[in-house]
Amino acid sequence: MNTYLLFKSIHLIAVISWMVGLLYLPRIFVYHSEAVANNKSEDLMSTFKIMERRLFIYIMNPAMIVSWVFGGLLIYSIGINNFDYLWLQLKLLFIAILTIYHFFLFQCLRKFSKNSNSYSSRFYRIINEIPTFLLISIIFIIVFKPL
């Protein structure tokens, strides 16, 4: 069996799962912050908190970890000397930004869990575009491999 293709397949599955979470969690935050602003029921707030926590803990965190691990294995399998290529450097930079964004969302999740969210639903709508932009950039970088 070709381990490179196995690593690549697992990496792609994990990245897709991670991206789903990075796109969906801020969307839940939009609804949660609107519910807070409109003084909705505690049952609804509790439901949002459960959804947010489960998405982050059971899908996003494992997917991010598996993405990093199998991405590292892919780099190792093609050779560490490939760090010289601009496309790989850019990809890793964008992945680092996605990881920082992931942990920012964790901070937002913690604030929601303590009923101390300080951002508006508009803010969450805007930041929800960050992973989309990065995903598109990463795909074009990987496919075209500039320099």
pLDDT digits (tens, 9 = 90+) for 29-52: 999 999 998 988 889 999 999 999
| Helix (H) or strand (E) segment spanning residue 129 | none
pLDDT of residue 146: 78
Q: What is the pTM for the complete model shown?
A: 0.93
Q: What is the mean pLDDT of residues 118-122?
A: 95
Which of 4, 32, 45 has its CA nearest to residue 120?
Answer: 32
How far apart are the C-alpha atoms of 32 and 5, rounded to whole Å?
Answer: 40
Name the percent of the chain lying above pLDDT 90: 88
pLDDT of residue 40: 85
How far apart are the C-alpha atoms of 142 and 124, rounded to whole Å?
Answer: 28
How far apart are the C-alpha atoms of 139 and 143, rounded to whole Å?
Answer: 6
Name the percent of the chain lying above pLDDT 70: 99
